[in-house]
Amino acid sequence: MAGRGRLSPVGAPTRGTTNPNRLRRVDRWIAAAPVTTRLLRTADAPLVVDLGYGASPVTTVELARWLRRVRPDVRVLGLELDPERVAAARPAASPPLLDFRRGGFELAGTRPVLVRAFNVLRQYAEDEVAGAWALMLDSMSADGLLVEGTCDEIGRLSAWVLVSAAGPVSLTLSMRLAGLEKPSTVAERLPKALIHRNVPGERVHAFLSALDACWATAAPHQAFGVRSRWRETVRLLVSRGWPVLGPPSRIRLGELTVPWSAVAPA
1 pLDDT band, cuts 50/70/90, is very low
β-sheet with 75-80: strand ranges across: 98-102, 75-80, 47-51, 114-118, 145-151, 157-164, 167-175, 255-259
Q: Which amino acid is at 82?
A: D
Residue range 103-122, pLDDT digits in tens: 999 999 999 999 999 999 98
- Cis check: omega of the bond before 46, within 30 degrees of 0: no
Q: For 76-100, what is each residue's pLDDT tens digit? A: 999 999 999 999 999 999 999 999 9
By residue count, the chain amounts to 266
Fold for 24-260, please state it: Rossmann fold (3.40.50)
User: What does the pLDDT look like over 216-237, one tens digit per residue?
Assistant: 999 999 999 999 999 999 999 9
- How far lies 197's CA from each of 164, 206, 226, in Å? 21, 10, 28
Q: How far apart are CA 92 and CA 58, in angstroms?
A: 8
> With contact defined as beta carbons under 8 Å apart, do 48 and 118 qualify?
no
Residue type, 248: P
The full set of domain ranges for the chain reads: 24-260
* pLDDT in the model for residue 3: 40
